């Protein structure tokens, strides 16, 4: 585990921010000992992006462990999320432009029945504001430039999706999903199914494969210093 660090990422940090923070600490450690680190010693990466508004488990890889990134990307994951019904966001999260759809208040029975329809193998179109590459460029970069972003649908698997709490307009759930699943898109699709619209206001990753949030040893200081 010396080359794998489990981080509980705070709100507001990008995955790259965390990588840069860890790399800076490694460099500072070598400098303190009067040594100059090699490029290999400063090699730091992550095994699966978390959006800035999201929190939770981020696996940081150091040195030769970076070669294992692909292994982690294929692992199933567990997320806790809160959806807000009645509104949509241009990015599917709190960072986008929010618009009101309607004030329809679905019953808890309707919500439960809607959620059941997403369990199993489903077709999902990843969000425009994602890190997916299109012709060598990130989708979110093209979207920010105002360019058309067309991402083909993909099959993902929702092993289970459970309602934790429903107090309109907030809907809290926990789910186990396959790699490649976008929770922002899942939330938007739930909103469409309920005819209310929805976007993800809170997101927390609690598991990647056998690694759990309870295994984390570090929680980054939000000061970033």
For 23, phi and psi rounded to 5 degrees?
-60, -40
Number of neighbours of residue 185 by Cβ within 10 angstroms: 17
Which residues, at least 6 apart from 15, have a Cβ–Cβ distance to it below 8 Å?
9, 46, 48, 49, 50, 58
Residues pairing with 165 in the sheet: 172
- Residue 225, domain member (yes or no): no
Within a domain: 148? yes
Residues 122 and 38 grouped into a single domain: no
Distance from C-alpha of 182 to C-alpha of 196, rounded to nearest angstrom: 20
User: Which residues are catalytically annotated?
Assistant: 51
Range of the domain at 46: 4-75+209-219
- Same structural domain, 200 and 213: no
Residues 90 and 200 grouped into a single domain = yes
State the pTM of this model.
0.87
Summarised one tens digit per residue, pLDDT across range 149-171 is 667 788 999 999 999 999 999 99
224 sits in the region (left: phi over 0; alpha: psi -120 to 50; else beta) called left
pLDDT classification of 19: cutoffs 50, 70, 90: very high
Domain count, the chain: 2
Q: Residues 154, 45: one domain?
A: no
Structure tokens at 219: 């929680």
Mean pLDDT of the chain: 88
CATH code assigned at 175? 3.30.2350.10
Phi-psi region of 17 (alpha: psi -120 to 50; beta: other; left: phi over 0): alpha
Tell me the backbone φ, ψ of residue 8, rounded to 5 degrees.
-95, 95
Q: Which of 35-39, 64-68, 170-174, 220-224 has the highest mean pLDDT?
A: 170-174
Is residue 35, in this structure, part of any structural domain at all? yes
Report DSSP letters for 8-39, one per residue: EEPTT--HHHHHHHHHHHHHHHHHHTT----T
């Amino acid at each position: 585990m010396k080359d794998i660090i489990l981080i509980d990422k705070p709100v507001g940090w990008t995955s790259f921010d965390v990588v840069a923070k860890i790399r800076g600490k490694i460099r500072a450690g070598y400098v303190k000992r009067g040594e100059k680190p090699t490029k290999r010693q400063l090699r730091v990466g992550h095994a699966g992006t978390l959006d800035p508004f999201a929190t939770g488990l981020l696996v940081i890889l150091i040195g030769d462990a970076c070669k294992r990134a692909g292994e982690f990307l294929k692992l199933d994951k567990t997320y806790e999320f809160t959806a807000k019904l009645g509104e949509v966001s241009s990015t599917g999260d709190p960072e986008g432009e929010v618009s009101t759809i309607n004030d329809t208040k679905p019953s808890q029975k309707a919500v439960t029945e809607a959620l059941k329809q997403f369990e199993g193998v489903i077709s999902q179109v990843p969000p425009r504001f994602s890190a997916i590459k299109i012709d060598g460029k990130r989708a979110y970069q093209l979207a920010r430039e105002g360019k058309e972003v067309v991402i083909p649908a993909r099959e993902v698997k929702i092993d289970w999706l459970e309602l934790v709490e429903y107090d309109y307009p907030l809907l809290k759930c926990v789910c186990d999903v396959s790699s490649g699943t976008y929770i922002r898109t899942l939330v938007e699709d739930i909103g469409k199914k309920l005819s209310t619209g929805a976007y993800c206001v809170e997101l927390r990753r609690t598991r990647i494969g056998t690694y759990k949030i309870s295994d984390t040893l570090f929680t980054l200081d939000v000061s970033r210093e």
